[in-house]
Amino acid sequence: MGVFRQIGWLIHKDLALQFRTKEMLALIIVFSVVVVLIFCFAFGPIFPEKLEERGKLAASVLWGTFLFAGIITLNRSFDIERANGALHGLRLTGVDASYFYLSKVVSIFVFLILLEVIVTPIALQFLDVLTILPVALQKELPWLLLKLIGVLAIGTLGFCAVGVIVSGISTNTDGTESLLSVILLPLTFPVIMAGAKCTVSLLTTGGLEGNFWISILIVYGLIFLASSSLLFEFVVEG
Amino acid sequence: MMLLQASQITKRFGNRIVLNGLDLNLRSGEVVTIFGPNGAGKTTLIQILSTLIKPTSGTLQIGGIDALAEALRARPSLGLVGHEPLAYLDLSPYENLKFFGRLYGLDGLEQRIADLLDEVQLIPYAHEPVKLFSRGMIQRFMIAKALIHDPMLLLFDEPFSGLDLAAKQFVLKRIDRERARGKGIVLTTHDTELGYHIGSRFHFLLDGQIERGAEKEDIGLEALAREYEDRLNRCQQR
Amino acid sequence: MTRTQLIGLLSTIFLFVAIYFIFSFAEIEMTMLEVQKIFYFHISAAITVFLAFGVTCIFSILYLIKRGDTYDTIALVSTEIGIVFGVVVFTTGPIWARFAWNTWWNWEPRLTSALILWLTYIGYLILRSALAEEKKRIYSAVLGIIGFLNVPIVYFSVELWQGGLHPGTATKMNLPATMQTAWLISWLALTLLYLFLLMFRYRAEQMKLELGTIQYRQMNES
Amino acid sequence: MYKGLWITVLIIFGIFFGLFMLSQIPVAITQDEVSTAVSDAIAETDAQVDETAVEQIVTQKALEILEARQKRRLKFLVSAYFIIWLIFGLYVLHLAKMQEQLHKRIEQLHSSLQRKE
């Protein structure tokens, strides 16, 4: 019980910090929209006619955008912890490193999900995906969007699981931002592959029937959540 | 009872030996002042005593707990006022104290926070972000943060640097009050006058080693200042 | 003769033997003809890449448990050699692909997962160079472990992503006996070479340590 | 010492390997290959001449094609093996050089320390 309360307070603190400065959310949303626009300008204005091609395009745009937005968020979050020795203050309370890890994963996850909920419809609209969906799917569009967000959520959780521990490491160096990308991106290739495939499947058939990709996303998240919450103690305590 | 028992503490960074087989003991109601020039390893010593970094070798006991093996259990019994605020400057003093107080698992937190903020004269600014504060206000906030869980052992790292006279006096008074309440206090400084005034036992930290301990009854301020000067010169010649 | 020299000599001998077996003992494969002979060293090097990074992972775990600097040094050295073997894999791979499929790169699952792993451990080396002395051992050990945990997931997803089995997988399974022998010997030879390089590189790391100590002593005395 | 050893090994290896390539690789002519080569050759020679002349030309052409193909294959093979040895060789040389320099530095510092004492 005490565990969950402690984690809850840590998450509360993180979210308070993230939303304290409203510019951060605004900045990251604008960044994501701009990235989406870059893809649109590169591919547009006439997008592939076939639904599957369009779906692939949308999947790559969404996942690419959220990956970069995720890296920025991670960096920012750990900058706050490092600055002014806040992390040392946290350590002095005797809180377990794995609680800290889990709270960080959850708070960044929440932030990114919020971003995804806002940016996904915009991106789908810009790429004009919604109009060429089969009629059956168009009828239950909210349901489809919900499923899409669900897939994004599972992928984002995996991304956060790895991202938090890697940025916990890379924040100790000087060239933080570029270093984080170089180390983190190769580790997240499976998320991109699996996430994009799931997205394409959702946009073309409206479901994930006979699809192993979603289980890869889940397994990836579980493996890294488990291993990183054990390893995070070494990152924090040294 | 011995509040703090450090023996044969050695710290190396690569080949550089910062602390070399250092011993330090502290009973409750004692204020140990450690004098040392810049770069003598004062901050490293305080960080080791506060379990933030691990010594290369040696043993450390805080309140009877092996602080190297069970750092998490030892930490709640110590408070640290260091160079950095060890808190989140984007949050207000109230939010910070509440957050850290919750993690320490304190009862009657609201009352405790109100009392502390009153003592450090920050009530009017309780809901302003700490980053807007002046140096003296931040120092007072740091003291409040270190005292929130009423620790037995208090560690001060250069608490007077960069403060004006009034602020220095505030810190002095505060330390004296905690000593009178039976706390054990370790304090580092290079200011002989202030250090003499507040301390009940004196050590010199030179070349990574603690040299000589003098009780307040055995030595006057001038004698202490002279001895410090002598030792500094001898150290520089070596 | 030191152990390192012995292993070096042994690996050299085995390399000669492997060459002999590849070019004169193993029969010529019918579809790729002579070009198929790249396969022996290409695959062996790829296996050695996985071996090297596996060693990095194991010694990283050992370092976190026991905190001996030796473990960390072995992890570092093994990573570096794994990267060198990776270079061999990623230069011979395209030559093979160019002949077999008329393209320089082929998304074969094992090749792709080796590439991802390779990039991860290049990140490991970059991280090490960017970290301060007292922190780099622990942090790189953590990364060494995480990077390797990724291997099965990457392998499985690339296989699924590529959507089919590569001819290499099929031929490896039912290789004629002569080819099998040649391949086993070249694999053994490269493993020995890896071992030799590991020891050789480790010595350099020890010398660096020694140099640091002497430099520090001299600095203190002057 | 290591450097010298490895250069020797590499040179011996190069010679050994070159001789091997020249002597050991058999020209793998199969029935299938010849017939495809022959039909290729006939396609390339569009003149209508008497049988023996055609046969002669065709055989010669077939041989040429076969040789060209093998040459191409060998080019791939040789370049692959060349690159493998180049990478390992360069890496070993790099290590040897590194150790040599370190060794020199250590010796230097040791002797200067001893002089002081």
pLDDT in tens, D67-103: 888 788 888 888 888 888 888 888 988 988 888 899 9
Number of domains in chain B: 1
Give every strand in the sheet of B31-35, ordered side by side: B78-81, B153-157, B184-189, B31-35, B201-206, B209-215
pLDDT at C101: 80
The answer to whether A105 touches A157, Cβ cutoff 8 Å, is yes
Instruction: Note the pLDDT tens digit of each residue in A72-99.
Output: 999 989 988 888 889 999 999 988 899 9
Looking up residue B194, the CATH number of its domain turns out to be: 3.40.50.300
Q: What is the pLDDT of residue A210?
A: 66
Q: What is the DSSP string of C142-183?
A: HHHHHHHHHHHHHHHHHHHHHTS--HHHHHHHT--HHHHHHH
**Residue C69 contacts by C-beta under 8 Å, 6 or more apart in sequence?**
C137
Task: Collect all residues of chain D within an 8 Å Cβ-Cβ radius of residue C91.
Answer: 80, 83-84, 87
pLDDT of residue C165: 43
Angstroms from A149 CA to nearest CA on chain C: 21
Which subunits count as partners of chain D given 3+ CB pairs below 8 Å? Answer: C
Between positions 2 and 21 of B, the ones with CB within 8 A of C are 13-16
- Among B126, B129, B89, CA closest to B110: B126
Task: Specify the pLDDT at position C159.
Answer: 78
The reported pLDDT for the residue numbered C14 is 87
Task: Return the higher-pLDDT residue of B149 and C25.
Answer: B149
Residue pair B186/B173 in contact (Cβ under 8 Å)? The answer is no
- pLDDT score at D22: 55
What pLDDT, on a 0 to 100 scale, did the predictor assign at position A64? 93
CB contact under 8 A, C213 and B16: no
Please give, rounded to a whole number of angstroms, the shortest distance from the CA of D105 to a CA of chain C: 7
C100 vs B85, residue with greater confidence: B85
Q: How confident is the model at residue D47 (pLDDT cuts 50, 70, 90)?
A: low
Question: Structurally, how many domains does chain C consist of?
Answer: 1
> Which residue among C16, C34, C214 places its CB closest to the CB of D106?
C214
Q: Of C174, C187, C190, C183, which Cα lies nearest the Cα of C21?
A: C183
In this complex, is the C-beta atom of A178 within 8 Å of any C-beta atom belonging to chain C? no
The model's confidence at residue B80, banded by pLDDT at 50, 70 and 90, is very high
Q: With both helix axes pointing from N to C terminus, report the angle between C38-66 and C109-130 in degrees, rounded to the nearest 10.
A: 40
Full residue range of the structural domain in which residue B17 is found: 2-237
Closest-CA residue to A175 (of A67, A75, A74): A75
* pLDDT beneath 70, residues of chain C: 1, 29-32, 163-174, 221-222
Cα end-to-end span (Å), chain D: 31
B162's torsion region: left (phi>0), alpha (psi -120 to 50) or beta? left
pLDDT digits (tens, 9 = 90+) for B92-138: 999 999 999 999 988 888 999 999 999 888 889 989 999 899 888 89
Q: Quote the pLDDT of residue B94.
A: 93
| Residue B230 predicted with pLDDT over 80 | yes
Task: Indicate the pLDDT class of residue D3, thresholds 50, 70 and 90.
Answer: low
When pLDDT is averaged across residues B21-25 and rounded to a whole number, the result is: 88
- One DSSP character per residue, A9-66 reads HHHHHHHHHHHHSHHHHHHHHHHHHHHHHHHHHHH-SS--SSHHHHHHHHHHHHHHHH
Q: Which residue of A has its CA nearest to B67?
A: A94
Q: Which tokens is C115 given? A: 């590439």
Q: Which residue has the higher pLDDT, B180 or C177?
A: B180
pLDDT score recorded for residue D27: 53
As a whole number of angstroms, the distance between CA B149 and CA D115 comes to 59
Q: Which residue has the higher pLDDT, B52 or D2?
A: B52
Q: What is the mean pLDDT of residues B143-151?
A: 91
**C-beta neighbour count of B222 within 10 angstroms:** 10
Q: Are strands B201-206 and B209-215 parallel, antiparallel or unpaired?
A: antiparallel
Helix axes C69-101, D51-116, angle to 10 degrees: 160
Residues of chain A under the 70 pLDDT cut: 1, 175-176, 210
Domain that holds residue C201: 3-221
Alpha carbon separation from D91 to A203, C190, C209, D84, D88 (Å, rounded): 50, 14, 21, 11, 5
What ipTM, to 2 d.p.? 0.83
Q: What is residue B88's predicted lDDT score, i.e. its pLDDT?
A: 92
Measured between alpha carbons, how far is B175 from B97 in angstroms, rounded to an integer? Answer: 19
CA atoms within 13 A on the CB side of B93: 28
B14/C213 touch (CB, cutoff 8 Å), yes or no: no
Whole-number pLDDT of residue A155:
93
pLDDT at D31: 59
Q: Enumerate the residues of chain A whose CB falls inside 8 A of the CB of residue B52.
A: 88, 91-92
C161 or D19: which leads in pLDDT: C161
CA distance linking residue B212 with residue B214, whole number of Å: 7
